[in-house]
Structure 1
Amino acid sequence: MFKFITEENLKDKYRKNPFENYILKENEKLTPGGREFLQDKNIKILSFGEEISKEKKEEKRESVLDKKLIIKSKIAMILFFKFGNKYINNDIKFGKKIIIFGKLLENLKKYFEGRILNLEIDSNLKKENYKKINGEIDEIYIYQGENSKILDLYYLSSIVEELKYLIEERLCGKEDEIKILENYLDILLELLDEVIGETIGGKNIGE
C-alpha cells in the first residue's frame, strides 16, 4: 500500500530541516502538489534505489582511493629502502639516512592502512642547520662524482611530492587531516633537502 507525500508534508519537513534532495522510499508516491513544491525549491527527487546506488559508488571510489594511497606510499617506502641499501656499503652514513627516511614512509603506509592513528617525526630528525638546496638540478652536478646520489635524492623527493598531491586528491575537503599529512611529508622533504645539501657540499650553519 502506497503512502502519498503531500505538499503540506514536505513544507513541514523543509521548515524543520531544509534539504537539497528528497529520497522517495519504495512505498511512497508524491502528490502533484508535493512534486511541484520540490520542483519550485529545486530539490532533486531520488528513488530509494538510486540513493543506494549512489552511496555504493561513493564507497567504491573511497575504497579505490584508499588502496591507491596505500600502494603509492608502499612504493615510495620500497624506493627509499632500495636506494638506501644501494649506497650503504660504500657510504654507511648516507645509506642509513635514506633508510630512516624510508621508515617514515612506512609509518605513513601504516597510517593509511589504519594500523596507527598518529604520525610523529623523531625529534632527532628535526634538524634545521643544513644549507637548503632547491630547484632544478644544475648541469655541473651531472659531472661530479656524487651525481648518482644527487639524482637519486631528487628522484626520491619527486616521489614524496607526488604523494602529497595524491593526498590532496584523496582527502579533498578534509583540510585538518590534509594539513597533518602534508606537514609530515614536508619534514621529510626538508630532511631530503639537507642531505642533498650535504652531498653537493652544503655546510652546517655556523661552520
Structure 2
Amino acid sequence: MKFITEEELRDIYRKEPFTTYELLPETRLTPGARQFLTDRGMNLYRVDIPADKTVAVQNQEAPIQINDTGKPMERDHWKMKKLINRLKLIESLFLLISKESIALDLFLAQDILKLGKQFSTIRQEIQSKEKKEKIFFKACSGIDVDNCHQDMGDCFDITEIHMQLDKGKEILKLHQLRCAIREVESMVMEVYEGNEKEHMRCEEIIAQVNQVINCLSQVICVAVGGKECQRKR
C-alpha cells in the first residue's frame, strides 16, 4: 500500500496545475493530501487496473466528490480558522522578539512592540468585520504613502554578513518574522476566493499586510545601522 502525501500533491500541482486527481489501486491519500484536494474543490477518481495489467480502465461509477453538498461552508470555516491561528502566531512572535531585544536596544524593542500591536488590528478587523485604526506609517526615501500598501519586496538581501553585526540575531529574527507575514497574503486570498462581495475587503486586508511588511523592513534597516534608506534601486 502506497500513501500519497500532501507534499507530493503540491509538487505535482506546482509543475502542472490540475482539477481532478486519479487514485490508482493500492494507493491511499494521507489526511493532509485529502485536505489539499478538498481545499481546492477537486474531484477524486479511482482507477481500476485489470488482472493482466495491460489496460487501465477508469471506474465508471460516479466520481467521489470532494466538494459535496455542505462541504464548501465547512471548508471556508477551516480556511478562516487557519488564517486566524496564523495571525495569532505572528502576533506572539512580535512579542517574543520585542522581549528578547529589550536588553540590547530598548528603542528597537518598542518599535517592534508597537508594530506588533498594529498588526493585531488586522486579525481584529477580520473577526469583527469592523474597520480598526489605521496602521501608522512613517515615510522614508524608498517607501512612501503612495507605495506603502504595495508588495515592495525586501529592501535588501539578508545574508551571512548581517550575522556578524551587533544586532545580527535580532535582524535575522525580524527577517524570519517578515517572511512569516508574507505567507498571510495567500491565506487571505484563500479565505475570500470566489467571493465577489468580499473582493474589496480582501484587497484592503492584503494592503494592510503589505504595509506592516514595509514598516518591518524599515525597522530592519534601522537595526542594520543604516542612516539612509538602503532599498535596492
Q: Structures share a fold, TM > 0.5?
A: yes
The equivalences for 1:32-181 within 5 A come to 54=69, 56-114=70-128, 117-122=130-135, 125-129=136-140, 134-173=155-194, 174-181=198-205
Under a length normalisation based on structure 2, what TM-score does the superposition of the two structures give?
Answer: 0.59
- What is the Cα deviation at residue 104 of structure 1? 1.9
Bigger helix fraction: 1
Which amino acid is the alignment partner of residue 90 of structure 1? L
The equivalences for 1:195-206 within 5 A come to 195-204=219-228
Which amino acid is the alignment partner of residue 152 of structure 1? K
Residues 66-107 of structure 1 deviation map (CA, whole Å, 9 limit, x = unaligned):
111111110010111111111123321111111111112221
Which amino acid is the alignment partner of residue 214 of structure 2? E
Give the CA RMSD over aligned residues.
2.2
Residues 13-54 of structure 1 deviation map (CA, whole Å, 9 limit, x = unaligned):
xxxxxxxxxxxxxxxxxxxxxxxxxxxxxxxxxxxxx9xx61
- What is the Cα deviation at residue 135 of structure 1? 4.4
Task: Identify if the C-alpha distance between structure 1 residues 65 and 156 changes in structure 2 by more than 3 Å, giving closer, same or farther.
Answer: same
Unaligned runs of 5+ in 2: 1-64, 144-153
- What is the Cα deviation at residue 121 of structure 1? 2.4
- What is the Cα deviation at residue 131 of structure 1? 5.8
Number of positions where the alignment pairs a residue of Structure 1 with one of Structure 2:
150
Under a length normalisation based on structure 1, what TM-score does the superposition of the two structures give?
Answer: 0.65
Unaligned runs of 5+ in 1: 1-49
State how far apart, in whole Å, the 2-side matches of 1:130 and 1:202 are.
Answer: 12
Task: Identify if the C-alpha distance between structure 1 residues 185 and 152 changes in structure 2 by more than 3 Å, giving closer, same or farther.
Answer: same
State how far apart, in whole Å, the 2-side matches of 1:109 and 1:192 are.
Answer: 18
- What is the Cα deviation at residue 60 of structure 1? 0.6
Establish whether residue 186 from structure 1 lines up as the match of residue 210 from structure 2. yes
Identical aligned residues as a percent? 21
CA contact under 8 A between 1:141 and 1:147: conserved in structure 2? yes
Q: Which runs of 4+ in 1 moved over 6 A?
A: none
- Mark the structure with the bigger radius of gyration: 1
Task: Identify if the C-alpha distance between structure 1 residues 139 and 156 changes in structure 2 by more than 3 Å, giving closer, same or farther.
Answer: same
- What is the Cα deviation at residue 140 of structure 1? 1.4
Equivalent in the alignment of 2:61: none
